[in-house]
Structure 1
Amino acid sequence: MGAADEAMADRRSTRPRWVTDGGLETDLIFHHGVDLPGFAAYPLLGTPLGRALLAQYYAGFAQVASRAGAGLLLETPTWRANPDWVESLGGSRSDVRRINLESVLFLAGLAEVLVADGIAPRGPGGFDGSGQGPDVRICGVIGPRGDGYLPGDRTSAEEFGDYHAAQIAAFAQSGAARVTAYTLTTVAEAVGVVQAGRSHGIAIAVSFTVETDGRLPDGTPLGEAIGALRQQAPPDDLLLNCAHPSHIAAALTPDDAWAAHVTGLRVNASRQSHAELDDAAELDEGDIADLVSEHEKLASHFPRLDIIGGCCGTDARHVAALWGVQA
C-alpha cells in the first residue's frame, strides 16, 4: 500500500456496523415478475403471497448480516406509501397511517422469526454504539413526495414537513427505531423531513441522490446540499443512495469536508444515469467486481460510514459482495 492509499485508509475510523437491503422494487419486478404499479412495494403487505415474497427478500439480507458479523436494519417497503402516491394507487389519505403501521408490525414479526431461526443476528446492539453485539432494528422508510429522479415543484421546507408528517407520525407511534427518507432530490424536502421527525420525537435520517455529475437532480452540488442541510436541520444520519459509486465520487473535491458527515451508502449497481434507468426495459445488474472496487474507493472518503446496502439493480449478492461475504 502506497502513502496515498494509507492516508485514505486512515480516514476510516471504524468498520461499518449495519447491513441494510438492496433494490427491493427492481428485484421484485425483474427477478420475480411482480407487477408494482407506481414502483410501490407496500401493496404486497396485503396478500399472503406478497408477504411471503417480502419475507424471502429480507431473509437474504439477514443472512448477509449474520455472515458479516454486523447488525441488520429491516427497512419497511413504504418508499411510496406517502399521501399522493397512496391516492394515485387507489387508496385514500386516511390509509397512510394504517399502511405504515402495518409495515412495521410485519417486519417486527419477521424479525422474531429470523432471529429464532438463527438467520438474523441476535444481540443487544444499538445505533449509539453502546451495544454489546449485532442486533436487528426496524426502520420506517419514506420517499420523496414526487419522482425520485426529478426535483419536482418548488416547495418550502415547512410544506414538505407538513406533507410527510403523516408517515413519520405513524412510524413514531409504531415504535420504529427511526425513519429514513431515501432518494431526496432537494435540500428543502430534506430539511422538512428532519423538522417533522423532530416534532414527532423520532430519530431521522435523510439520503440524497445525485446525477452522474455528483449534483442533486435540481443541480445543487452535493457538498453544498449537505452543508445547507446541516446548517438548517442536522439529521441523525446522512446517507447517499440510488447512484453508482462513481457518480457520488464525482462530487468529491480536495476540500471535501462534507464527506465526514456521510454515515451510509446504498448505491446502484448500474453506471447508467437516472434517465437511462427510467427508460430501461431490462435490468442492468452492473458488474459486481467493478461495483465493489468503486465502492471501496468511495467508502475510504467517509470516516463515519456505518450503514452499507444497495439500491436499484442490487440484490443480496451485491450487498454480500460489498461486505466481503457470500450471499
Structure 2
Amino acid sequence: MPQFRNSLPQLTGRPFLTEGGVATTLKFRENIDLPDGARFPLLNSAEGRGALTRCFEPYLELARRYRVGLILDTPTWRANADWGAKLGYDADALAEVNRAAVGFVDALRRQHAEPDLPLVLNGVIGPRGDGYTAEATMSAEDAAAYHRPQIEVFQNSEADMVSAHTLTFVDEAIGIAMAARDAKMPLAISFTLETDGHLPSGQTLGSAIEETDAATGAYPAYYMIGCTHPLHFEPALTRDASWLARIRGVRANASTKSHADLDGASDLDSGDPQDLGHRYATLRGRLPNLNVLGGCCGTDHRHIEAICEACL
C-alpha cells in the first residue's frame, strides 16, 4: 500500500528536499548519453540503475543530516507516448517501465528508511512537448486523455503522488489535474518560466495558477516553479497576491541563462551554489508556504546543500 497517498507529509509545512538536476549530472558528470533527455531507459540495465542510485545518494544523506523529508522522483519525465515512441517504446513497454520506475524508488525508500525520515514516492509526468516552448498545444480534454495512461500506472503502484514538471501552457496543466483527480492521485503542478517570468505561452504565473485552480476546483495539492533561475521570476512574486500561497516548491536552475542558451550549451553551467541558496532564503520570505526545496538543470548536491545551509 502507498505510504503517504492519503496524507502527504509535505503539506504539514515540514521542510522537504528534492534532488537536483539529475539529467545534467548524468550527462555532464557521468558522461551518460540521454537521448531526448530521457532517463527511464537507464532502468533496463544494472549499470543504468547504478548511475541513478549514485545520483540519489547525496540527497538522501542531506535529508538525514538536516532531518528533513525527501521526495524521491521517478525517472519518468519522458516516459509518455510521444517521447516513448521516439525511443522504441509502445504503450505496453511504457507501462512496464513506469512500473519499474516506481519499484526503483520504492527500493531506495526501503533501503534508506529511518524513523522521522519521510521519503515520498513521486511519479513524475513530463510535458507532451519539449518542456521549453509552447508551440504545440492541445485542449485540456486532450491533455487529460494523453496523460491518463501514465497516471493510471502510478495509481496502481506504490507511488504516493504524481507531479507534472516543466509545463509550458495552462491547458496541459488543467488536463493533467483532471486525469489525476479521476485517479484520486495527489498532484503537484510545476510550471517552467522564461527570463521574463512568464510561461513560454506568454501567460503570467499567477494567471496560470488561478486558471488551473478555477477549472479543476483547486485540485492540485500545490504548485511549483521549475527549470528557471530565481532572478527570472522574483519580480513576478507580487506581494499579497493570494496565489502565492499555492506555491509550495521551487526547483530552480543553477544558471541564469535562457532555455534556448542552455539547450545549445556544450558545457555545464553550475552557477553559484551559495548565491542560489541565499536566493531561496529570500524566496521563503516571499512565498508563505514554500517548504519543498530542490533544483533543476545544472544543480547537484552542492546546490541543495547550500540551500539547506541558507534556509534550514
Q: Specify if TM > 0.5.
A: yes
Q: Are 2:105 and 1:107 aligned?
A: yes
Equivalent of 1:277, from 258, 262, 266?
A: 262
Aligned partner of 2:199 in structure 1 is 216
Q: For residue 288 of structure 1, report the CA deviation from its aligned partner.
A: 1.2
Is this contact kept in 2: 1:268–1:313, CA < 8 A? yes
Is this contact kept in 1: 2:125–2:164, CA < 8 A? yes
Q: For residue 170 of structure 1, report the CA deviation from its aligned partner.
A: 0.5
Aligned partner of 1:295 in structure 2 is 280
Q: Percent identity?
A: 42
Distance 1:182 1:306, change over 3 A: same
Equivalent of 2:24, from 23, 26, 51?
A: 26
Which region of structure 1 is more displaced relative to structure 2, 23-32 or 297-306?
297-306
- Aligned CA RMSD, in angstroms, stands at 1.4
Equivalent of 2:121, from 117, 138, 143?
A: 138
Aligned partner of 2:4 in structure 1 is none
Segments of 5+ residues of structure 2 without an aligned counterpart are 1-11
Cα offsets for 1:246-272 (capped at 9, x unmatched): 112131224532211101111111000
Is this contact kept in 2: 1:40–1:80, CA < 8 A? yes
Aligned partner of 2:308 in structure 1 is 323
Is this contact kept in 1: 2:106–2:158, CA < 8 A? no
The one-letter code matched in structure 2 to 1:182 is H
Map 1:58-69 onto structure 2 (within 5 A): 58-69=56-67
Structure 1 stretches (4+) deviating beyond 3 angstroms?
Answer: none
The one-letter code matched in structure 2 to 1:37 is P
Aligned partner of 1:241 in structure 2 is 226
Q: For residue 292 of structure 1, report the CA deviation from its aligned partner.
A: 1.4
Q: Are 2:46 and 1:48 aligned?
A: yes
How many residues in Structure 1 have an aligned counterpart in Structure 2? 297
Aligned partner of 2:174 in structure 1 is 191
The one-letter code matched in structure 2 to 1:314 is T
Q: For residue 107 of structure 1, report the CA deviation from its aligned partner.
A: 1.1
Equivalent of 1:250, from 235, 251, 257?
A: 235
Q: Distance in 2 between matches of 1:183 and 1:250?
A: 20
SS of equivalent to 1:263: strand
The one-letter code matched in structure 2 to 1:294 is R
Structure 1 length as normaliser, TM-score?
Answer: 0.88
Is this contact kept in 1: 2:58–2:301, CA < 8 A? yes
Q: Are 2:133 and 1:150 aligned?
A: yes
Aligned partner of 1:175 in structure 2 is 158
Q: For residue 95 of structure 1, report the CA deviation from its aligned partner.
A: 1.5
Q: Distance in 2 between matches of 1:56 and 1:242?
A: 22
Equivalent of 2:72, from 71, 74, 80?
A: 74
Aligned partner of 2:251 in structure 1 is 266
Is this contact kept in 2: 1:262–1:304, CA < 8 A? yes
Aligned partner of 1:86 in structure 2 is 84
Q: For residue 300 of structure 1, report the CA deviation from its aligned partner.
A: 1.3
SS of equivalent to 2:19: coil
Q: Distance in 2 between matches of 1:37 and 1:153?
A: 21
Which region of structure 1 is more displaced relative to structure 2, 225-234 or 180-189?
225-234
Q: Distance in 2 between matches of 1:211 and 1:17?
A: 27
Q: Distance in 1 between matches of 2:195 and 2:15?
A: 28
Equivalent of 1:231, from 214, 220, 230?
A: 214
Structure 2 length as normaliser, TM-score?
Answer: 0.92
Aligned partner of 1:164 in structure 2 is 147
Q: Distance in 2 between matches of 1:182 and 1:43?
A: 19
Aligned partner of 1:9 in structure 2 is none
Is this contact kept in 2: 1:59–1:114, CA < 8 A? no
SS of equivalent to 2:33: coil
